[in-house]
Structure 1
């Protein structure tokens, strides 16, 4: 069931006893978790935090921690699964689901008390009626031996009447089942994302009058991740940005009123919303590198080609920015160039078709040296989250990403930014090698790319976020340089080695460029293709468009997928 009064029906309930907090490995979930942690700390609520990478992790975490637990809070996990069927919990345990994955499982929606979905349903969610999906067959059963009211009615005529009723009942049931199958297919065929979980938690804190600028910043970072990874349509992202700007103005004003006059100005947290360039990490990188490794400029200027590199030098020269200046860190550039950099880019954006990098952004400042924009935080957290190695456990990476949101852990954030530079560089170079070798293959109904084996940075693409970013980059670049008019209508499937030892690979599917509303049909298509060819896929991710399968089964799986989508 949906819970709309979060203060009373969620926060008021979990305050009474220790709760279990299961958090997915994504930035939006981490930001929502951070806001909840601040609320829990202020109200002295005891909780156990367990990061979960996939469905099996979630099952294990619940089994290990379910004793003496009455409430389980699930952030960006569990909403699309039938939790009662999967976890077999005691009837006394209540699950509070805060999940941006869609569509929700219908058993969760129509659960009377054990499953509580936080927030109201999205306007676009066409949730089927209860009676169209669930049916109580006990009402259909009739006792054949029941005595007839009419004593004169013969057994033969009674049997005939019951047979006719049985045929009619079966016909009605068959029609109901066919109708149910159609309704379920229409409801479940696309997977997509809804409202940022971080924003939902922040709005709850605001309604309880317990919000602050740090919480608003977490909501901003969570929402920004959805924009950067193209999880939501641009219209929704703009509306959320406007709403968050209003909250920032309100909280900034409140902070200005409450501040002690003797407190030094530089120690105040400042969040500003202003015109900014959508260039990845440019304040912490060189201008040349930021231009080259940002998706929008790399695609528009076709920087993966030799002609593209020449075009980049032309742009820098026409801006009046010497190569010496563009190749040193932004903060080390001459003050004049730093101050005029945005205006320089704006003047040439139209000429070089890079208007998409002109936009707005939120920036957090604390003191003189702590200044980061929301996209800087997202890239840093993504890089830390996906930096697992044999010596570095996923849980450690999760906690490092969580620490990025703390102003006292600047060294971890700086480390994340350095890792993010390397991540963006590797994504660009891998995309460049794929595009130069023309390795984006056309399967008729979708495009396909495979990350070449033996690459020194192949381990990076064993994680879903970098592989999705590579797929989005390669798809936009392919469409930009293709002469085929239908190129923008094709979705793309990307594959990379997941584990060489196990002989498994990771597959992700992304929707076509022409769709501003990013709904993907790959979740159900992957499932059906695997069934058609009897392939075993490991659908362990909370996003159904990400799967794992054996490398030797990949060719027949792709053939089945092509046949299915044709």
Structure 2
């Protein structure tokens, strides 16, 4: 019987590193997207240059990390800590090197707390046709998802943990696609002098046109409040970084304006089986300059009272709510009034 060993280590904090190639892991890491400006061709070229400076051949960083030659894997952390590379690529080690604990048992896969969290959260977020409520309730029945998510924590059920990791890859690619689409076109964004926030709206067509063949319907993507909030926060950070680094003077000026605005995300949540009416999830994210001050719980409650209690506060955090599509504009108008006071 293998002995379970848990030890402290300073881990490389690239997204799902042990389950992806080194290149993909960096490419989908939020902090690295911003540091390298990976929405641009120059940023992608710089990423490949960075990997070359780490001394890793292309054939190595494009294969699964676990299959990489051990001599390259052992050298990565040392090279990342190299001050010359930090200055050249403008990153800080506190965003890449993460003090954590790793669990190993024999020669099996190493488990890190952050990967387990990703597996659990993605499993919780995934609703199948068998888990969708058959009543007219607007809530998705997550009972089965919760049971599966618990299994991700069981070391003797690694298969479920791996399934959760694969789901996280799908969601990560979908999030990346949505943000990339957002940067290419302003049609989903509204921000001007007439409204006191950035309004980001996703409709079902955005999901249906996705190039990723993952069979995730639009109303199965934003089913968990934490994941939805995290996506909104990442979208805001990347949007500000994108505009501030632009060579376009107008866009650069716009970034200063955006830093002072909160973001409201509205996206498909679920369909009621009775009438096939779209239910939307609404999330409030504080401005970039006030990241620690999220007062949207109070603001949303006040706006809801003003428009006749049309929202459903079904989550612990009231800065996330559910709304029937027909009430969207009424709620937005009420929120604008509350924020303008």
TM bin, normalised by shorter chain, reads 0.7 to 0.9
Report the CA distance between 1:462 and its aligned residue: 3.5
Evaluate the alpha carbon distance shift between residue 328 and residue 370 of structure 1 in structure 2; reply closer, same or farther with a 3 A threshold. Answer: closer
| Residue of structure 2 in register with 1:228 after alignment | none
> Structure 2 regions of 5+ residues with no counterpart?
132-140, 209-215, 244-251
| Residue of structure 1 in register with 2:189 after alignment | 440
What are the Cα deviations for residues 334-387 of structure 1, in whole angstroms up to 9, with x where unaligned? 111111122233333443233222332221222320411111001011111111
C-alpha distance in structure 2 between counterparts of 1:430 and 1:401, whole Å: 25
| Residue of structure 1 in register with 2:310 after alignment | 536
TM-score normalised by length of structure 2: 0.81
Q: Which residue of 175, 179, 191 corresponds with 1:431? A: 179
C-alpha distance in structure 2 between counterparts of 1:544 and 1:322, whole Å: 49
1:493-512 → structure 2 map (5 Å cutoff): 493-500=264-271, 501-512=276-287
What are the Cα deviations for residues 449-501 of structure 1, in whole angstroms up to 9, with x where unaligned? 11242214422124323322221111111221233324333221111112242
Report the CA distance between 1:285 and its aligned residue: 0.8
Q: Which residue of 192, 201, 204 corresponds with 1:453? A: 204
C-alpha distance in structure 2 between counterparts of 1:386 and 1:320, whole Å: 38
Report the CA distance between 1:428 and its aligned residue: 1.1
TM-score normalised by length of structure 1: 0.50
| Residue of structure 1 in register with 2:144 after alignment | 396
Contact (CA 8 Å) 1:535, 1:557: kept in 2 or not?
no
| Residue of structure 2 in register with 1:27 after alignment | none
> Structure 1 regions of 5+ residues with no counterpart?
1-263
Report the CA distance between 1:535 and its aligned residue: 5.4
Q: Secondary structure at the match of 1:388?
A: coil
| Residue of structure 2 in register with 1:313 after alignment | 48
Q: Which residue of 414, 417, 424 corresponds with 2:165? A: 417
| Residue of structure 2 in register with 1:299 after alignment | 34
CA RMSD, Structure 1 to Structure 2 (Å): 2.0
| Residue of structure 2 in register with 1:239 after alignment | none
C-alpha distance in structure 2 between counterparts of 1:512 and 1:462, whole Å: 23
What are the Cα deviations for residues 514-534 of structure 1, in whole angstroms up to 9, with x where unaligned? 345x34111111111122233
C-alpha distance in structure 2 between counterparts of 1:349 and 1:279, whole Å: 16
C-alpha distance in structure 2 between counterparts of 1:283 and 1:293, whole Å: 13
Evaluate the alpha carbon distance shift between residue 350 and residue 380 of structure 1 in structure 2; reply closer, same or farther with a 3 A threshold. Answer: farther
1:467 corresponds to 2:228? yes
1:356-367 → structure 2 map (5 Å cutoff): 356-367=95-106
C-alpha distance in structure 2 between counterparts of 1:343 and 1:497, whole Å: 44
C-alpha distance in structure 2 between counterparts of 1:452 and 1:550, whole Å: 13
Contact (CA 8 Å) 1:388, 1:394: kept in 2 or not?
yes
Deviates more, 1:285-294 or 1:550-559: 550-559
| Residue of structure 2 in register with 1:279 after alignment | 14
Runs of 4+ in 1 over 4 A off after TM superposition: none
1:59-138 → structure 2 map (5 Å cutoff): none
1:106-505 → structure 2 map (5 Å cutoff): 266-267=2-3, 269-347=4-82, 348-355=85-92, 356-392=95-131, 394-438=142-186, 439-442=188-191, 444-454=195-205, 455-456=207-208, 457=216, 458=218, 459-482=220-243, 483=252, 484-500=255-271, 501-505=276-280
| Residue of structure 1 in register with 2:136 after alignment | none
Report the CA distance between 1:317 and its aligned residue: 2.5
| Residue of structure 1 in register with 2:334 after alignment | 560
Evaluate the alpha carbon distance shift between residue 447 and residue 312 of structure 1 in structure 2; reply closer, same or farther with a 3 A threshold. Answer: same
Report the CA distance between 1:331 and its aligned residue: 0.6
Evaluate the alpha carbon distance shift between residue 342 and residue 508 of structure 1 in structure 2; reply closer, same or farther with a 3 A threshold. Answer: same
Q: Secondary structure at the match of 1:270?
A: strand
C-alpha distance in structure 2 between counterparts of 1:559 and 1:319, whole Å: 52
Deviates more, 1:438-447 or 1:287-296: 438-447
What are the Cα deviations for residues 391-444 of structure 1, in whole angstroms up to 9, with x where unaligned? 246222111211222111111111111111111111111111112213333264
Evaluate the alpha carbon distance shift between residue 453 and residue 295 of structure 1 in structure 2; reply closer, same or farther with a 3 A threshold. Answer: same
C-alpha distance in structure 1 between counterparts of 2:41 and 2:334, whole Å: 38
What are the Cα deviations for residues 227-285 of structure 1, in whole angstroms up to 9, with x where unaligned? xxxxxxxxxxxxxxxxxxxxxxxxxxxxxxxxxxxxx7x41x32222212221110111
Instruction: Please identify the structure whose Cα radius of gyration is greater.
Output: 1
Q: Secondary structure at the match of 1:351?
A: helix
